[in-house]
Structure 1
Amino acid sequence: MANEARPCPCEIGDQIEYGGLGQELQIEHIQAYVVKPATASDKAVIVIQDIFGWQLPNTRYMADMLAANGYIAVCPDFFVGKAPWSPSDDWSTFQAWLEDKKPTNINKEVDAVLRFLKEQCGAKHIGAVGFCWGGTATHYLALQFPEVRAGVSVYGIVKEREDSYELKFPTLFIFGEKDPIIPLDQVGVLESKLKEKCTVDHQVKIFPGQTHGFVHRKREDVNPSDKPSIQEARSDMLNWLSKYM
């Protein structure tokens, strides 16, 4: 699920056998996975899950990667205790499952996480990174939360809003050329409309030959031909955050 207007099923990909370096905490009304860098930092990144939930090892691996690069990383349960999508679920029920888990209905959770980062972690510079469902949510944050410094939306688009292109903070959008969920014509519309209407820095980057989920759901050792794209996209993510935070 990455397109708010026409959400489609997506494969879970390669699940990483990974335990995570952080800890699970309660942040107001939600649980979250939190990992801190080796040295104190006033920079933090909100890591937003895909449809498979905040406990997916792949997403926690990305959070730990951010922490290794000097950021406090927090991956909240944006489904607020509701069951994430499972690869064994019936795709014909996906729209009903999604009904109470809209990536554009997360203000209460974002507010709670921002308070936590500012008041308990001393964060002064906050960014956001999201994948799939979380990519759409990151695009939404860019329209609603100017206090966030930078965002990286990985295969996600908010479409059904008139202000979808009026970003409040610099945002990098990453897509795969062969993504069946977000076809290139939609990416083209996003790019042209951002050029026309967006006043903050932004970039839309398409990775040749890549499909949905390649940045966080493909293992480099299992997919050696994809390794350069996976590594480049992750470097782009880190460089974008470093530039604006």
Structure 2
Amino acid sequence: MANEACPCPCDIGDKFEYGGLGQEVQIEHIKAYVCKPQSSSDKAIIVIQDIFGWKLPNTRYIVDMLAANGYIAICPDFFVGKEPWNPTDDRATFAEWLKTRPATKTNKEAEVVLKYLKEECNAKKFGIVGFCWGGIATHHLMLKYPELKAGVSVYGIIRDTEDRYNLLNPTLFIFGEKDPIIPLEQVTILEQKLKEHCETKFEVKVYPAQTHGFVHRKREDINAEDKPLIEEARRDMITWLNQYI
């Protein structure tokens, strides 16, 4: 699922057999997975889940990757206890399921997490990364919170309206060329709208031959042809964060 205008559940891809290096914590009304770097840091990244929820090992792998690169990384449950999408669920129910989990109604949870990072982790610099549903949420939050100094929205497109493009800080948008859920025409429209309305730095990058979920739902060790682009996208994500945070 990526486009609010035409929602569609997506394939979970390669589910990682990964336990995680961090820990689960309770932050006010939500739970979260947190991983901290070996050396103390005042830089933090909020990672927003896809439709498969905050416990997906693939997403926790990305959280730990960010921590290994010097960030306090946190993946909160932005569904606030509601069940994530299950690949065995009836696709005919997806639209109704999604209505109860709007990606553009995430401000309250973002504020709780920012407060936690400031008060409990002593973080002073913040960025945000989101995948699929979380990519939409990332785009939304980069329009609302100036303290988020960098954002990376990974295969998530917010609905096409005029007030969705004036990003407050630099944002990288990552897409796959062969994504059946986000056609390239939508990516082109997004880039055109950003050029018209966005006053800060942004980049829209399309990775050749890649499909939806390639950055975090494909295992590079069993997808040899895709491995260089999976790794490139992950490097691009980290480079972008390093540059602006």
> Partner residue of 1:229?
229
Distance 1:7 1:164 in 2: 18
Amino acid at match of 1:199: E
Alpha-carbon offset, residue 221 of structure 1: 1.2
Amino acid at match of 1:48: I
Cα pair 1:139 1:153 within 8 Å, conserved: yes
SS at match of 1:129: strand
Q: Residues 1-245 of structure 1: matches in 2 within 5 Å?
A: 1-245=1-245
Q: Deviations over 1:158-184 (max 9, x none)?
A: 124421111011000000001111100
Structure 1 gap segments, 5+ residues each: none
Alpha-carbon offset, residue 114 of structure 1: 0.5
Alpha-carbon offset, residue 142 of structure 1: 1.0
TM normalised by structure 2 equals: 0.99
Distance 2:198 2:181 in 1: 24
Aligned Cα root-mean-square deviation (Å): 0.7
Amino acid at match of 1:77: D
Q: Deviations over 1:145-203 (max 9, x none)?
A: 11110000000011244211110110000000011111000000011111111100000
Distance 1:112 1:9 in 2: 28
Amino acid at match of 2:40: A
Alpha-carbon offset, residue 4 of structure 1: 1.7
TM normalised by structure 1 equals: 0.99
SS at match of 2:189: helix
SS at match of 1:144: coil
Over the matched positions of the two proteins, sequence identity in percent amounts to 68
Is 187-196 or 46-55 further displaced after alignment? 187-196
Amino acid at match of 2:17: E
Structure 2 gap segments, 5+ residues each: none
Distance 2:180 2:102 in 1: 21
Cα pair 1:4 1:160 within 8 Å, conserved: no
Q: How many pairs does the alignment contain?
A: 245
Distance 2:97 2:153 in 1: 23
Structure 1 residues 185 and 160, CA, compared in 2 at 3 Å: closer, same or farther?
Answer: closer
SS at match of 1:120: helix
